[in-house]
Amino acid sequence: RADIGISALTITPDRENVVDFTTRYMDYSVGVLLRRAEKTVDMFACLAPFDLSLWACIAGTVLLVGLLVYLLNWLNPPRLQMGSMTSTTLYNSMWFVYGSFVQQ
């Protein structure tokens, strides 16, 4: 008769009636083989979190606010120091709004 024993036995109902088993804390003996998935990679998967209507709203907002920033900058009197040259174009205003929007 033994007080403790170590063995790689399968726990069955018959053995469980006789022996008080403890649960394993590590198990490296069983491996599962799976077939590789045959999915194709979607190039536009990054657009999937949002619906098409939300992407349209985001694009419209960037265009509208970019145009508004350009107009306000164009109407504002220049406050440039001597020798500095800055040109604000509609393209630069759009990129400024987009960069502010996606900043994390």
Question: Quick one: pLDDT at residue 59?
Answer: 92
Question: Quick one: pLDDT at residue 101?
Answer: 86
Question: Quick one: pLDDT at residue 12?
Answer: 83
Question: Quick one: pLDDT at residue 19?
Answer: 81
Q: What is the pLDDT along the chain (104 residues), one digit of tens a residue?
A: 677 777 777 778 888 888 887 766 666 665 566 677 777 777 888 878 888 898 899 999 999 999 999 998 888 876 666 555 566 788 888 898 889 888 85
16: three-class secondary structure by DSSP: helix
Question: Quick one: pLDDT at residue 85?
Answer: 59
Dihedral class, residue 11 (left if φ above 0, else alpha if ψ from -120 to 50, else beta): beta
CA atoms within 13 A on the CB side of 8: 5
pTM of the model: 0.51
Question: Quick one: pLDDT at residue 10?
Answer: 79
DSSP string covering 64-96, please?
A: HHHHHHHHHHHHSPP-PPTT------HHHHHHH
Interatomic CA distance for residues 16 and 57, integer angstroms: 64
